[in-house]
Structure 1
């Protein structure tokens, strides 16, 4: 049965990214080959305790399990906001355990989560 409260909710990664972009969140935090987390167009190396996860979105492909992705809305200690995007399951964007370990160490603060409920 269809839930009428969810009819207008965004369900795709691109829809959520567009909405975040409208709110000024368009830069990505990415882990480089040296396992350093950096904000796009920045030289700063982040440690997990310098970041906060504000919201997590999970996306599952309708017909292909390889289409699974997760998007995290992140804020650093200076107030810069960005996102981390990763496919999950067998085909992660970041091979190895370093990315997963780093991500698990980032504190979660859901006090601003309501701001990102689209």
Structure 2
């Protein structure tokens, strides 16, 4: 059985989320709101909780630095936000980082999600 600690690559974690039906990528809209895969899923920071953060660093290219935020919404649905970080962030302006800073965090063991 594969445990979260055994998952060392971004693609492994994203595949595990997909297999569990938790592949709801949450992205920032042009209007500064976060939206899930379903168009009606619009989130404010207080609607989400960051339950786990993974950071990935490329072996040779700083542009390969990526952070994966696994989130739970107020209805108990799991989703994720994916972003390059640092100067290579894929989100321009301060809206994205301001939104992330407002999301409460609750670092949880994700064993129950991935088992």
TM bucket normalised to smaller: 0.7 to 0.9
* Residues matched between the structures, number: 111
Q: Which is bigger in relative contact order (C-alpha 8 A, separation at least 6)?
A: 2
Runs of 4 or more consecutive aligned structure 1 residues displaced over 6 Å after TM superposition? none
Contact 1:55–1:116 (8 Å) recurs in 2: no
Q: Which position in structure 2 is the counterpart of 1:25?
A: 22
Question: So what's the TM-score if we normalise by structure 2?
Answer: 0.86
Q: Deviations over 1:40-63 (max 9, x none)?
A: 123232110110011111000001
Q: Which has the larger radius of gyration?
A: 1
5+ residue gaps in structure 2? none
State the Cα distance separating 1:68 from its structure 2 match.
0.3
RMSD across aligned positions (CA): 1.9
State the Cα distance separating 1:81 from its structure 2 match.
1.1
Which residue of the other structure, out of 87, 91, 99, is the alignment partner of 1:90? 87
Question: So what's the TM-score if we normalise by structure 1?
Answer: 0.84
